[in-house]
Homo-oligomer: A and B are copies of this chain.
């Protein structure tokens, strides 16, 4: 159960070079390829001739050529040519609306006529030279909503990420959740605390003292279908926290695009956008490595939580105040699902 008339991140731009890429999204196996003019196409990964996966073929000009018997498929899902054959009557395969933007390939797995490029979320930092981005991809065996819950309730940092970004003060600061249209915002502010290891390193990266009390914040923003952007940061205590001047704080945006593969598996695109030292590629790599290790700690928890829930489908879970962000995000998703099925 996932919204279909919406944009999901299918892959990053650098995942597709001259070779096609097969990826299952919302239960549909799709082949992505970049044609000679660099445009991205997304097609059903199914040759209309004998059902071979087109992703085992190769790109020739604007076409994707099947690696079995040479049928050449156009980006619109219509066969262009095949050696020794008249192809006019060949059945079309499905072509998906697809857009390359902000370093990601966005796919619309639902009704193509409804696809609206303007609905792709705007990532201000993506094309801004004052910002840098680094990220990665994890393939996780869980319902996409478990990952939304995870990201909208950062209380878990205290336990799952105790050695990097967790600290007892997180669970002591009650989160506030609000809804603005289709956006759910859960925020938490901690004052006059000591910074955990990850943030001490970020302070140093900003040439700021790392051994003084800080104010810390987490502002999680969910938008459908399953994007979660989290503003996170610390400022030297007493300068306004979230609103402190740039030279007193270290902050960034945790970027999370969660794309359902099946009902119980996801492609999880995670990353961090920062507006300090944007040209320092070594720093980008270091942050990516650190963030990758932290986010890997969630994998076992989420996958075993999924197994527990699959084995106990009748169990009701608790919805506490800390779960408010996830609960409200699920309400918005449920409403979209109801609209799509009506």
List residues of chain A with CB under 8 Å of any chain B CB: 29, 45-46, 48-53, 56-57, 65-70, 82-85, 90-91, 149, 153, 155-156, 158-160, 171-172, 174, 300-301, 304-305, 308-309, 311-312, 315-318, 320-323
Contact = CB atoms under 8 A, between A and B. Distances in A.
A52 B308 contact: yes
A174 B83 CA distance: 10
Contact of A318 (B48, B155, B323): B48
A99 to B, nearest CB: 26
Given A50-B149, A84-B172, 9 more contacts: A51-B305, A51-B312, A52-B305, A53-B304, A56-B301, A66-B159, A67-B301, A69-B156, A83-B171
Contacts of A50: 149, 305, 317-318, 323
A233 to B, nearest CB: 22
A155 B52 CA distance: 14
Given A51-B312, A159-B68, A84 B322 contact: yes
Nearest to A146: B50
Contact of A159 (B29, B69, B171, B305): B69
A84 B159 contact: no
B301 A68 contact: yes
Contact of A160 (B46, B51, B67, B159): B67
A90 to B, nearest CB: 7
A73 to B, nearest CB: 13
Contacts of A48: 317-318
A65 B168 CA distance: 14
Contacts of A57: 159
A171 B304 contact: no
A219 B25 CA distance: 43
Nearest to A49: B318
A91 B315 CA distance: 11
B53 A90 contact: no
- Name, among A91, A174, A322, the residue most crowded by chain B CB atoms within 10 Å (CB to CB): A322
Contacts of A315: 46, 51
A153 B69 contact: yes
Contacts of A56: 300-301, 304
Nearest 10 CB-CB pairs, A to B? A83-B171, A52-B305, A51-B308, A53-B304, A51-B309, A49-B318, A69-B155, A67-B159, A50-B317, A70-B159
A66 B160 CA distance: 10
Contacts of A53: 304-305, 308
Contacts of A309: 51
